Structure 1
Amino acid sequence: MEEAEGQPEERREAAAPGPASVESDEPPVKKKPRVMESESTLLGPRLEERLSSVLCCTVCLDLPKEAIYQCSNGHLMCAGCFIHLLADARLKEEQATCPNCRCEISLSLCCRNLAVEKAVSELPSTCGYCQQNFPRACLERHQHEHCHNRPTRCRYWRIGCRWEGPYHEVPAHEAACVHPHKPGGDLMEILADMDTQHQKEVLLFQDILQLLSLEKIGCTEVQFRPYRTDDFITRLYYETPRVTVLNHTWVLKARVNDSERNPNLSSERTLSFQLLMRSKLPAAMDCAFLLLRAPYEDVPLRPVVYRHTFSGESTESPYLPLPITDAIECNRLLAAKNFSLRLFLFHVTKS
């Protein structure tokens, strides 16, 4: 009985399915292979990103958009930052140094790196309007001429239309623009503003032509040289050697930001100049004068005519703004050891 009773148990044990003998319709689970690091993971960021971090300016940490200068140890600086460092050093009466290695930098010690400039011009850059990538050398032309999303004004903006939108929407807007259909009475105010601006330019042109027809005209080149005041806090100013024009001796002075205490802390910088007579005058002398770019110089100046009456009691004109275009050009003048301008002086006689 024990053997008989044991047989079913053995049969049950033999018939009992084990985990290895279970049959299933599901496919067998494969072991995951060892994941190897891809080549992109080993290399890190893309080549363009790595080059951008290597070729960027050491001051602003951005890719230069124009000329690129390097110190004697090879550290790169974009033209704007390089000129700004030289201008700051001139204002603080210090020697300009590279912000990375602290070696001396100047216009004579540093040179442009043309190879880096060409390499930067070939790096891809994203258009801010259509988000497509283009070489940096072609990006500006694309954004101004070819991009379909570039901001564009309506062709009737001269008569008051203030619409501005992407270029591909211009035809639809101009077809529905109401400004070309406005009556002339509504456009008179706009045309009056345009005439006022045009009249200012015409008057300046006519004023210069009238001065050129005067009998006594003098012209000379003046060189502004940097000096320091004798105050407790020294300030930078410029002065020219004496020049003789119209049988009189003259000197020009210039100052930065109207001689404020710390012009190096300001990002907006201006230059103002003063014309001084150094010879004796028997009678009052009405003069008109203006400063323009000297030959072989690249200082952009707007023509502005100034007037002053010189006499024995008034031998100095007030400080007048030097009509340079922006603060960047002011930094260029400050960075240079000297800068030259052309002085035109007119003796205005009463007719």
Structure 2
Amino acid sequence: MSSLEERDVGVAAAPGSSSAGLGVGAVGVAVEAVAGVAAMQEEVAIRREGPEPDPDEPPKKRVKLPEGEAGKLEERLYSVLCCTVCLDLPKASVYQCTNGHLMCAGCFIHLLADSRLKEEQATCPNCRCEISKNLCCRNLAVEKAVSELPTDCTFCLKQFPRSSLERHQKEECQDRVTQCKYKRIGCPWQGPFHELPAHESECSHPTKTGTELMGILGEMDQSHRRDMQLYNSIFSLLCYEKIGFTEVQFRPYRTDDFITRLYYETPRFTVLNQTWVLKARVNDSERNPNLSCKRTLSFQLILKSKVNSVLECSFLLLKGPYDDVWIKPVIHHHSFSNDTNETDYVPLPISDSVECNKLLAAKNINLRLFIFQVQK
């Protein structure tokens, strides 16, 4: 480089400087200093981070990102679209309050049921605005967005969109839990799907003797016989001469005790030319059912008419024509008279506490009652 070029560089590097040589020297020192600092930062970063992770190592627990640090889009959407109550992504319907806070269907129904038990107005746990089935609506955009977010398969731990996860886990996953095809003759084996052919080729149950298989099948048929006995009993009741049914509506009331308790009662109705009333209670009149996650309903049938002779009846409750709650039919029997005009409280045969919360969250409980009079 010529002396003229050196002077030009010096002037450009340090405008207003009185010496060109001083400008060249400053640039060189600055470059060396920057390179040294960069090397030190890289070395410190390597020491902090440690060696590169092994790609075969199992995934570690997700670490919360520091504020201001950008994470994956899925992680950011997770915190935006999660339920404000359980802080998990909704699996089905998504409801929102009037201010837009999201609640999954299970938490939304649970909040409404709790407010019914405590005789309070249900509120959003985030902003405390009032919530109800009339005030809240579903957010279809969030439901569709959540269905496209990835989630881990329970069996193979690979990620799939939530919309296709159910089909993958039921039909495609090679690690899904399956059972031997000889389960019908008592084989208890269950394991990953990819091990099924090897097991079935070595399964010992097809070679069992007839005597051994008869013992196994006898035990398995017991539950089937109980179901058949129930349905045969229902068909027998349908052959009775006097049959009556009606739609009943349980309405919520409070007791007059110091600590009020929630109970349900129907208006008087007429079946088989007699006047009746149904009552129901929560958790068998437990003192604070709102503090329990387990919810049950039990009911009793009361004869309000006066009768001249004993009225022997069979009865059962089923879900109403417009409700989505599932009730397993159970037949009850009672001999009604003027002295024994009330049945004992019997459980309403619903599957679990989730179904019970559906009933509690509604303004009224609508069911269908059948009464069959036994002819002597």
TM range (shorter): 0.7 to 0.9
TM-aligned CA distance change 1:296 to 1:31, over 3 Å = same
Partners of 2:241 and 2:186 in 1: how far apart? 46
Partners of 2:117 and 2:267 in 1: how far apart? 21
Conserved 8 A contact 2:302-2:342: yes
Superposed CA deviations along residues 37-85 of structure 1, whole A, max 9, x for unmatched, are xxx9976110011001100001100000010000111000000001111
Q: Which runs of 5 or more residues in structure 2 are unaligned?
A: 1-31, 43-64
Partners of 1:294 and 1:234 in 2: how far apart? 28
Q: Is residue 52 of structure 1 aligned with residue 52 of structure 2?
A: no
Superposed CA deviations along residues 187-229 of structure 1, whole A, max 9, x for unmatched, are 2222112222121111111111111111100010000100000
Q: Secondary structure at the match of 2:260?
A: coil
Give the structure-2-normalised TM-score.
0.82
Q: Which residue matches 1:186? A: 212
Conserved 8 A contact 2:186-2:217: no
Q: Which residue matches 1:19? A: none
Superposed CA deviations along residues 129-165 of structure 1, whole A, max 9, x for unmatched, are 1121111011111111110000111111222221111
Q: Secondary structure at the match of 2:284?
A: helix
Q: Which residue matches 1:298? A: 324
Q: How many residues align?
A: 320
Paired residue type of 2:108: F
Q: Secondary structure at the match of 2:181?
A: coil
Partners of 2:191 and 2:118 in 1: how far apart? 46
Q: Is residue 239 of structure 1 aligned with residue 243 of structure 2?
A: no
**In the TM superposition, what are the counterparts of 1:152-231 in structure 2 within 5 Å?**
152-231=178-257
Superposed CA deviations along residues 293-316 of structure 1, whole A, max 9, x for unmatched, are 111221211111111000010000
Paired residue type of 2:205: H
Superposed CA deviations along residues 270-305 of structure 1, whole A, max 9, x for unmatched, are 100000011101110000001111112212111111
1:186, distance to aligned residue in structure 2 (A): 1.6
Q: Which residue matches 2:351? A: 325
Paired residue type of 2:193: Y
Instruction: Select between 199-208 and 46-55 the one with higher mean Cα deviation.
Output: 199-208
Paired residue type of 1:107: K
Q: Which residue matches 1:61? A: 87
Q: Secondary structure at the match of 1:107?
A: coil
1:32, distance to aligned residue in structure 2 (A): 5.8
Q: Which residue matches 1:281? A: 307
Q: Which residue matches 1:144? A: 170
1:323, distance to aligned residue in structure 2 (A): 0.8
Q: Is residue 257 of structure 1 aligned with residue 283 of structure 2?
A: yes
Q: Which residue matches 2:141? A: 115
Q: Secondary structure at the match of 1:224?
A: strand
Partners of 2:91 and 2:348 in 1: how far apart? 27
Q: Which protein is bigger by CA-based radius of gyration?
A: 1
Give the structure-1-normalised TM-score.
0.88
Q: Which residue matches 1:271? A: 297
Q: Which residue matches 1:78? A: 104
Conserved 8 A contact 2:276-2:301: yes
1:335, distance to aligned residue in structure 2 (A): 0.5
Partners of 1:32 and 1:50 in 2: how far apart? 37
Paired residue type of 1:143: Q
Structure 1 ranges of 4+ moved more than 4 A: 32-36, 40-43
Paired-residue identity, %: 66
1:105, distance to aligned residue in structure 2 (A): 0.7
1:240, distance to aligned residue in structure 2 (A): 0.5
User: Quick one: which of 106, 119, 123 aligns to 1:93?
Assistant: 119
